[in-house]
Amino acid sequence: MLEHIRSRGAASIQELAEAIAVSNSTIRRDLEELELAGYLERTRGGALLERTQKSTFEPEAALAAEIARPQKQAIGGVAANMIRKGESAIFDSSSTVMELARIVATRDLALTAVTNDLGIGSILARNAMINVVVPGGTIRPGSQTLRGEPGQKFLETIHTDITFIGTHAISGGYLSETSLEIAALKRLMIAAARRVVLLADSSKFQTVAFCRICAISEVHQIVTDDGLRSDDAQSLRDFGIDVIIAPVLHGERDKN
């Protein structure tokens, strides 16, 4: 339902009921729950996405994985071609980076992979050619993300060929996050890599989140989808960043 509203900006109760094949009363109850959780705003007869999202708001991990998933899958497919055999790579805890991991796990690719995400670690470990390193830490409530020590100290001691990171928002020349601890980990991942690749779907270009990760200029490449506005793309290029667009088939967009 959130994906339906996100792709259209707003939707009526009747439209949602027909799209999802449930009753109007079920849609009303679900909209009430989503409004209370901060995902959307109710309107007369329908709903739209929250106009001014709170800087610390973050969707539940299970929902975040499904929002804009065709775009994330397209981005993951393009990013997977950036990895070469024998390299070392950091896989940040991110729903978009997880789509990259799903593809990498199917490849004939010897790789050392470092990740602070238990889900991503499990996916990559399916491939016996991939040496998976999980730095450790405390599991963030409601997710599979590891934060804090000993992971932070470990990241200070390594040097990798490439880092794939995600972000909550891109605005004003900065990447930003909802959590101070997560932002700190991402900075260490960036510092540890010779090459930094940001994986971010076009919806990430929005109001700034609670705390800065880093200046956008610290990123070497961005892989995003073809929904990116031309002015946002030009702004990134003005910072000297290589912008790579992953095409998303319109049929795939409409599936969810």
Q: How is the chain split into domains, by residue range? A: 2-51, 63-255
Chain center to CA of 243: 16
Under DSSP, the state recorded for 44 is: T
Q: Which CATH architecture has domain 63-255?
A: 3-Layer(aba) Sandwich (3.40)
CATH number of 2-51: 1.10.10.10
Q: At what angle do helices 24-36 and 13-20 cross, to 10 degrees?
A: 110
Distance in angstroms (rounded) separating the CA atoms of residues 146 and 26: 36
Task: Report the distance separating Cα 223 and Cα 211, nearest Å.
Answer: 22
Phi, psi of 15 (to 5 degrees): -60, -45
The tens-digit pLDDT sequence of the chain (256 residues) is 777 776 777 888 888 888 888 888 888 888 888 777 667 778 888 887 665 554 444 555 556 656 778 999 999 999 999 999 999 999 999 999 999 999 999 999 999 999 999 999 999 999 999 999 999 999 988 889 999 999 999 999 999 999 999 998 898 899 999 889 999 999 999 999 999 999 999 988 877 778 999 999 999 999 999 999 999 999 999 999 999 999 997 554 444 4
3-state secondary structure of 215: strand
